[in-house]
Structure 1
Amino acid sequence: MLQALELKQKPTLLLVDDRPENLVSLEAVLNDNERIILKAQDGEQALSLLLEHDITLVLLDVQMPGMDGYEVARLMKANPRTREIPILFITATQPDERNMLRGYQHGAIDYIYKPFNTEVLRKKVAVLQELQLSRRCLSVMNRSLDEARSYYAAILSTAAEGILVVDEQGSIRYANPAACELLQCDLDSLEGEQLHHLAIAPDSNIIAWENSVFFQHWRKKLTYRAHDAQLFTPSGQELPVTLSCAPLPAPHRGLVVVFLDNRIPKKLQEQLVKQAVTDTLTGLYNRHGFLQSLQASLSRSGRAHKPLAVLYLDLDGFKRINDTLGHPAGDELLCVMADRLRRCTRAYDTVARLGGDEFTIVLDSMDTPEDAARIAEKILDSLATPIEIQGLKLAVSASIGIATYPDCSENVDGMMQAADMAMYQAKSEGRGQYRFFTAAMNGRARARLMLEESLRQAVATEEFVLHYQPQIMMRDGTLRGFEALLRWQHHQAGLVSPGIFVPLLEETGLITRIGSWVIEKICHQRRLWGNTFPQDMVLSANLSARQFGQSELVDLVFQLLDEHQLFAHQLELEVTESSLMNDIEHSQRVLQALRKKGVRIAIDDFGTGYSSLAYLRQFEIDTLKIDRTFIANALVSPKDAAIVEALVALSHSLDVEVVAEGVETTEQLQWLQQIGCDCVQGFLFAKALPVLEAEQYPAKLDFEKL
């Protein structure tokens, strides 16, 4: 932009003469409104104007007092800013060869003598002016070319990608520094080298240039790209690259090759692939890697008509070791286990850790099922040797399930399920042993799958309903509230026992979806019962361990309370001891948030889990529910009675309400009254009732009539 303005400016003439009348005369001759005229009456003034303005041509009088024209010309020649400005000497002195040479030496272009011919003066000035403007134009263009050359040279030299320029015969004519560095040679070594001898496109070999993919695309004026090409350095080293070739624009006949070093991305890709299939703790395959390997093994066995076996191992008592000695000890044990499993199997067998303390093995190319049994026995014998961890010798056993192909299944899911079922069979029959998948187990597996599918449909079609079991206050028989209990009303089988479907909900992960539905339902029901029951009547719901561990639980509860316009104290959430202990810090945060809002918290089935009295102090709770097993035995077992009495007394000292579950006889009721239990629920008062029957339940009971 600046250069264009520089070329469009009017030419500027500087007239230098010590006589004013001469300046007036010169200005009158040369002023045509197409140029700018500046005037100076001595050398000092002339030099000052030269430094202040962009002068095109100087008309300089030779004879001046003080600093003459030769001195002005000499000083102009010495200054880089003014040395290229042409000088036309004006003099009244007759031509003298010595003076003329002196003037030319100091930068004079020509002379004009007084008295001058005005037409000749105009012509000379016009020619010199045009020459100077042309010179400036060339200078500007050269400067632009130099800048562009420097700019593009900098781009090429600093580019991280290798860049080659190749002629139409395939010979390399230019290589930027990155290309030379990647190919480990200098430009002189690369010049003249054939591109197709250095670059190999995917699925191609070194062939004649005219048959190469590079030449074929260049001839069709197309760009060629390859993400997994290879370059070979002149020394023969292989370099994986991403490569692009594009034809040069006309009139150049050739192509530009740009390539990027792929060694680091390829190495990272290999590492990511390895990480994706490897267990970071043991170095064995992880679940993903194992399933891939099993699929490949099944395909090979199918083609070769050779049987294979899958072994599913679960360590017996690992959780006890982990909880007692800590996770670092547990991790060390798992690593020792992994090493022993490697030693017990063949080099071509696949050993994997699925997670936790579960391991799997694929035994390829078996002759008979007894081969798998021999490996299982070898593993059990290996585990019989105690493992020393933290100075302790630990005896570890494993339960092993074995599924064979093609007897048990012909696909990955079927083999895994069969081996898993067999492992649980081994565990249920005493642990520390192996079991094969049997036909009977297969039948149970099919029944389980059918039940699981029905369960998923029940979730989708909302076959679940809530029944409500009343809770009665001991002080006066008033209704404290209801515990909502989940029931499955199957469309064909009728009412399904919770003991059957709740574990399946847990295993399939559907429990969180159902759990959220339960909370939403009881909030809705509590709002509908707004005028039917007193305001302080409570509805309780059980939270599964999986649901309690969800980060969005608190937000869901608060949203439903607001949506149904309930008081927080009208909702009670029941949590088991094991749920609280999964993550103590998370449990404390959730309980604090819920209780701060006013939601009541109950520990359900207290006494069947960890049963640490410290939890009553550590966790913020409102209610403690004593498990029905203690209540059932309290009248016949002094130990159970002592436990219940101690729990009631301790809870009262901590300002925690006590609810006794499973009260079925008047004798149990009377005894609970004597020890000061706050609240009771059980079959003595009612089973879990459908919603319409629960609405008719009396607000107060007379215990004497029970």
Structure 2
Amino acid sequence: MPEARILIVDDTRANLVALQVLLKPVEADVLIAESGQQALLLAAENKEHIALILLDVLMPVMDGFEVARLLNENENTRSIPIIFITADQDDAHIEEAYLSGAVDYIQKPIRKTALISKVRVFLDLWLLRHGLELEVEQRRVAEHRVEHLATHDPLTNLPNRRGLYEELNELIYRSRRYKYSSAVIYVDLDGFKHVNDHFGHEAGDRLLTQVATNFKAIVRQTDSVARIGGDEFIVLITDIDGETSLITKIESLLNEASRPLQFNRHQIATGASIGIALYPDHGDDAETLLHHADQAMYQAKQQGKNTFRFFTEDINAKAHRQRELQDNLRKALPNNEFTVFFQPIVDTRSGQVVSAEALLRWHSANLGEVFPDEFIPAAESAGLIPELGCWVLKQAIATGAHWHQRFGIELRIAVNASSIQFRNNLLFDTIKEQIDNHTWNPDLLEVESTEGLLLDDSSVVNTYIDAISNCGVRLSVDDFGTGFSALSYLKNYPVSTVKIDRSFIMDLPGDKENAVLVQAIIAMAHGLRLEVIAEGVETAEQWEYLKSLDCDFVQGYYFGKPMPQADFEDFLMAQLDKPALAQS
């Protein structure tokens, strides 16, 4: 709050000194003016501080009445109270004082008590007024801050989802009014979760701040950047002047999203998947444009990440199908729509069926037969994989125990598990519970996951990998060769088996490049004391060739398709009565 000041105006120096002496008990600075002109200047310069003007009436050049009128005409000084000091007690004189803008008057000779009493009243009023003004200003600033926080992300200071909608609606209004195209660009950072898990949230926050700053630097002032989720950004580009320039801008966003961050002597980098929806081609309201940009972004992520896709009707149809699948998947388990099929796995040395892979199948009451390559991704995006995976595990172990009792055989069963199932205790607890319930030999259970699990390298994942292995359960790497194919990772984990992906098997033995790769994988895996399964075997030539490479096990339509439990049991009975395939 500013300090209170009192302005004394008198052309007689002695009077100024006398008033200063009288005002010593008052807690306020005193300013003096020896003329009307000087008083006007001081009042204008100190308008925020002056609580009261003590103004002499009789002054040369410009008397007190004229000074009061001029102060009252100036909007910056008209609220300053004026007390006239006069020796004239004439009623007309006093009337003129009030008409010129005075609020009170003090007669000469001045009585100290009267002067101090009146001055203190006006000082109190000044303090009250400025206290209220300060409170109003503080409330205005606080309200502005609250409003800003309601529409902006506190970490990056970018508009949040609410702020985005305001800016997007404004963009749509301008685009419609001035008849130009605009773009809604949905950016999702690839690998951001890995940054948080491995380097901590401070590194993640630093990365998000860097991305926000970089994005802001490459868009125009008329464009906007918002952060609407953990690692999700929206960029609004107005008045697109051509597809080429837009693609150049999008490529710049991809480059900035992947710019490395230096953090604690580490170089951290992510990528980005970007989806684009155009106004008015892909929608003319905020919800539709954002939804379509999100769909296109998801398509970019499905196509390998660190790329971009424009929205198309084909993407829209796929998204509707995805929602349809998810809605029906949520009802499928309680409605008993799932079954487990089994596909035989054959030992290349004996030609005998030694294990089976448990595979989930879905016959929807509404959609009919839905293939796994369609419903598994839908289940993943709906967060249903942990529940479905554990259901398959229960069915598989129960079936294995049944076969042991009925046929007297111990058949190993392989069950697929997504890497997300290793992030909590549900998979481990289910394995322990089912093994105990069925008195099941844990060595007869093999949990299959992809190479990505080994590359996750988080403490939580490693804990559950070790826990499952310590139960005696075998771990295998499925679809080996399609991902990072880092054999060096295998030696650091309790893996028993690698499964060569069918894409390397399908053209054997004629495809020389794949033949070399398969031979190398088998040799290196054996060097690490791992067993090898080749999946996708469909011909006798492939079977013979893989035997010649000392591949341990094979799986594919040549031996048997995935089949329901009853059919698989018939298959098993027939196999027990036949000579071994290895001898054929």
TM-score tier by shorter-chain length is 0.5 to 0.7
- Change in Cα spacing, 1:639 to 1:409, as seen in structure 2 (3 Å) is same
Residue 585 of structure 1 pairs with residue 480 of structure 2: no
Question: Is contact 1:369–1:404 with CA below 8 Å preserved after alignment?
Answer: no
Question: Is contact 1:318–1:330 with CA below 8 Å preserved after alignment?
Answer: no
Q: Which has the higher contact order (CA 8 A, sep 6+)?
A: 2
Amino acid at match of 2:185: Y
Q: Please list every run of 5 or more consecutive structure 2 residues that lacks an aligned counterpart in the other structure.
A: 1-126
Alignment of 1:7-406 (within 5 A): 236=131, 274=149, 278=153, 280=155, 282-285=156-159, 289-290=160-161, 292-296=162-166, 311-314=184-187, 335-343=209-217, 345=219, 350-354=224-228, 358-362=232-236, 378=249, 380=251, 399-404=274-279
CA distance in 2 between partners of 1:657 and 1:524 (Å): 26
CA distance in 2 between partners of 1:623 and 1:431 (Å): 29
More deviation in 497-506 or 528-537?
Answer: 528-537
CA distance in 2 between partners of 1:540 and 1:395 (Å): 34
Partner residue, 1:562? 436
CA distance in 2 between partners of 1:372 and 1:644 (Å): 44
Deviation at 1:513, TM superposition (A): 1.9
Deviation at 1:504, TM superposition (A): 1.3
* SS of residue in 1 equivalent to 2:345: strand
Deviation at 1:533, TM superposition (A): 3.8
- Change in Cα spacing, 1:426 to 1:562, as seen in structure 2 (3 Å) is closer
C-alpha offsets along residues 273-331 of structure 1, whole Å, 9 cap, x if unaligned? 94995263x4434xxx32x2344557778999958966224479888x989x9999997
CA distance in 2 between partners of 1:651 and 1:432 (Å): 31
- Change in Cα spacing, 1:268 to 1:498, as seen in structure 2 (3 Å) is farther
C-alpha offsets along residues 508-530 of structure 1, whole Å, 9 cap, x if unaligned? 21222211211122122223323
C-alpha offsets along residues 675-701 of structure 1, whole Å, 9 cap, x if unaligned? 322222111110001111011123545
* SS of residue in 1 equivalent to 2:489: helix
More deviation in 425-434 or 306-315?
Answer: 425-434
How does the TM-score come out when normalised to structure 2? 0.62
C-alpha offsets along residues 365-421 of structure 1, whole Å, 9 cap, x if unaligned? x7x7769997776565687799687799x9999745024379626463x43221123
C-alpha offsets along residues 338-366 of structure 1, whole Å, 9 cap, x if unaligned? 23432455668652234576421356xx7
- Name which of 478, 485, 495 aligns with 1:621: 495
Question: Is contact 2:351–2:583 with CA below 8 Å preserved after alignment?
Answer: no
CA-atom RMSD, angstroms? 4.8
- Change in Cα spacing, 1:588 to 1:667, as seen in structure 2 (3 Å) is same
Partner residue, 1:528? 402
CA distance in 1 between partners of 2:464 and 2:285 (Å): 46
CA distance in 1 between partners of 2:245 and 2:557 (Å): 54
CA distance in 2 between partners of 1:501 and 1:416 (Å): 25
* SS of residue in 2 equivalent to 1:620: coil
Partner residue, 1:636? 510
Amino acid at match of 1:703: L
Deviation at 1:470, TM superposition (A): 0.8
Residue 408 of structure 1 pairs with residue 283 of structure 2: yes
Q: Please list every run of 5 or more consecutive structure 1 residues that lacks an aligned counterpart in the other structure.
A: 1-231, 241-261
Residue 546 of structure 1 pairs with residue 420 of structure 2: yes
Amino acid at match of 1:293: G
- Name which of 677, 681, 693 aligns with 2:551: 677
CA distance in 2 between partners of 1:239 and 1:528 (Å): 81
- Change in Cα spacing, 1:431 to 1:460, as seen in structure 2 (3 Å) is closer
- Name which of 574, 581, 584 aligns with 1:703: 581
* SS of residue in 2 equivalent to 1:352: strand
* SS of residue in 1 equivalent to 2:404: coil
CA distance in 2 between partners of 1:622 and 1:433 (Å): 36
CA distance in 2 between partners of 1:511 and 1:349 (Å): 40
Identity, % of aligned positions: 31
Kindly name which structure, 1 or 2, has the bigger radius of gyration based on alpha carbons: 1
Question: Is contact 1:472–1:480 with CA below 8 Å preserved after alignment?
Answer: yes
Question: Is contact 1:310–1:416 with CA below 8 Å preserved after alignment?
Answer: no
Partner residue, 1:659? 533
Deviation at 1:487, TM superposition (A): 1.3
Deviation at 1:621, TM superposition (A): 1.6
More deviation in 547-556 or 605-614?
Answer: 547-556
CA distance in 2 between partners of 1:518 and 1:314 (Å): 35
Deviation at 1:662, TM superposition (A): 1.4
CA distance in 2 between partners of 1:607 and 1:283 (Å): 43
CA distance in 2 between partners of 1:409 and 1:564 (Å): 59
Question: Is contact 2:185–2:277 with CA below 8 Å preserved after alignment?
Answer: yes
Residue 505 of structure 1 pairs with residue 379 of structure 2: yes
* SS of residue in 1 equivalent to 2:571: coil
* SS of residue in 1 equivalent to 2:506: helix
Partner residue, 1:186? none
How does the TM-score come out when normalised to structure 1? 0.52
CA distance in 1 between partners of 2:304 and 2:536 (Å): 32
- Name which of 428, 452, 455 aligns with 2:326: 452
Deviation at 1:424, TM superposition (A): 5.8
- Change in Cα spacing, 1:270 to 1:600, as seen in structure 2 (3 Å) is farther
| Number of residues of Structure 1 aligned to a counterpart in Structure 2 | 441
- Change in Cα spacing, 1:235 to 1:354, as seen in structure 2 (3 Å) is closer
